[in-house]
Structure 1
Amino acid sequence: MDELSEYLDSVTPARRRDDARTLLALMAEVTGEQPVLHRGGIIGFGTYHYQYASGREGDSIAAGFAPRKAATTIYLMNGVDRYTAELAELGPHTLGVGCLYIKDLSAIDLDALRAIVRDSYETLTSGTYGQRAGED
């Protein structure tokens, strides 16, 4: 058994574990990338390069999620503000600047989520992304 499978088997509660497996398939389909388990239990798909006006630069996951006990965190590194219409159709969720928190994936419109993840991934991987989440 590989490290990612072992990690997924350890996720609790069971609902979060099932949601993680669904998201794994959804994000692999949308991005065309293989999942990579990062420190802190973040499952990432692809990478993007960022460079800020300050000169700081680096690489980060282009799409990803982390199954946490309280909720699953979906990372939208280009911010959530641009997805107002899609989020209105999504179902029950809460937001951070660059994070979407979902407690029950079965209550979510997966087509709306798929569209959000696809747009975020395509935006981030289209070239050097020079903004922080929430900046336009």
Structure 2
Amino acid sequence: MIPALAVITGTVVGLMAGVEFAVAFVFNPIMTALPIGPSIDARAHGGRMLGRAMPFWYFGSLIFAVLLAVFTWGTAAAASALVGAALLAVSVIMSITLLVPINNRSKTWTAQEHPADWREQFRRWDGLHYARVAVVVAGFVLVLVAGVVL
């Protein structure tokens, strides 16, 4: 059962890390390079779409990592799983306190109606997102380490 939990946890967290990596290093740079109207529209649409899915994915990843830490308690894998879960908890806290407020504002913007500092707000979100991606990837690596040392 524990090996299956490790595989499921690694898969769920890994897919989330991959999506967030792609957002940071592929999709947002593409959208930023677009003219103002399409850039704002694309990021607003992405914010609405991912804003519906990511809370479940973040909390699900955290729950799986915590379960992995609990079920491996007393083994060599437990410390890695626990630290991985702690990093995923940090990513949830970062999301709720830092990124979601910007996302909630920006997902309502249109090419015609947006604040004058829209570009600055996107840059701030992107910078915070890079930090969150680093935390999520580190959590993913530690979950994988836990699965390997079982």
Task: Looking at secondary structure, tell me which structure has more strand per residue.
Answer: 1
> So what's the TM-score if we normalise by structure 1?
0.33
Task: Looking at secondary structure, tell me which structure has more helix per residue.
Answer: 2
| Higher alpha-carbon Rg | 2
Structure with larger RCO (C-alpha < 8 A, sep 6+): 2
